[in-house]
Amino acid sequence: MRELTIQKNDADQRLDRFLGKAVPLLPASLAQKYIRLKRIKVNDARAERDCRLREGDKLQLYINDEFFETPSEENVYLTIVNPRLHIIYEDENIMLLDKPAGMVVHADEGEKVNTLVNHLLAYLYQKREWKPREENAFTPALCNRIDRNTGGIVIAAKNAEALRVLNEKIRERELSKFYLCICLGRPEPPKGRIECFLRKDSKTNTVRVYHHPVPDGRSAVTLYETLETRDRLSLIEVELLTGRTHQIRASFADMGHPLLGDGKYGVGSVNRRYGETQQALYSYRLRFDFPTDAGILNYLRGREFIADEVPFRRKYFG
């Protein structure tokens, strides 16, 4: 319990508005709930959220210590009352989350709060599976990332050992990741392997494709298979053998078959004709191959998980 005394400069404010300034990490909706449940009192008595505070009043706050911390990027998850997560799978060690296109995985210049990782932390905190004040260093983490405008499966580790194993397995390419995408035209051959080198341009946040080794270029290997073609659009399944920035988008654009809706590598006139502002790309299938020991995650060996729905697949290919 914390007790705050109302000073002269704090007087004549509504209780709820004072709480918004004094405890900025406490969401307004949660503050109202705590007032209703008498976890926030004024002078040891129940109060209404719109009551006027007077100099000398004492507020009793029966809320978790985390809410009294200084706001920062590390604790902004506390401001999320209703975590928005589409959970494909969850156990005591991991979660598989279906990230919608348009949501960022981690904070960037345009979004600090509504990120996938913040909604994950809010979810685990509210379930009391993660108690940050009892942890010395560990924070639940995402093991892979996908672009803002790409949807699909993201792996989360709920404990340090699971995070260690997953990072190792991803590094050793013991997980198989499959994407669905829609490209313009019909790739020839309809099934193949793309090998190239990608060099990133940090100024434009794009990559350039090369077909020979170049300084700072990273090898990229992509397998693809055309599943269906309609109206000059092709539905493609892609398996990533390497995980490079914009690997699928840049590789298909280099082939002459950019992804529908891609604002960086695509064809603007075509995107506008179809009304698409996000690339038609979805990380829809994940398989835990694990040819070597996976410790506490051995039970996942051979298991495969598929996203419930790929919106653009239904839209264009029924």
Q: Name the residues annotated as catalytic.
A: 147
Q: At what angle do helices 28-36 and 15-22 cross, to 10 degrees?
A: 130
Closest by CA position to 49, among listed 38, 64, 58, 57 = 38
H or E element at residue 252: helix 247-255
**58, 43 Cβ separation under 8 angstroms:** yes
**6, 53 Cβ separation under 8 angstroms:** yes
- Count how many residues are written for the chain: 318
CB atoms within 10 A of CB 53: 19
Is omega for the bond preceding 189 within 30 degrees of 0, making it cis? Answer: yes
Residue with tokens 């946040």: 205
Any residues with CB less than 8 A from the CB of 218 and at least 6 apart, and which?
A: 197, 198, 199, 242, 244
Q: Tokens at residue 300, please? A: 């996942």
- The single-letter code of the amino acid at 117 is V
- The SS3 assignment for 288 reads strand
CB burial of 251-273 (b: ≥16 within 10 Å; e: otherwise) equals bbbbbebbbbbbebbbeeebbee
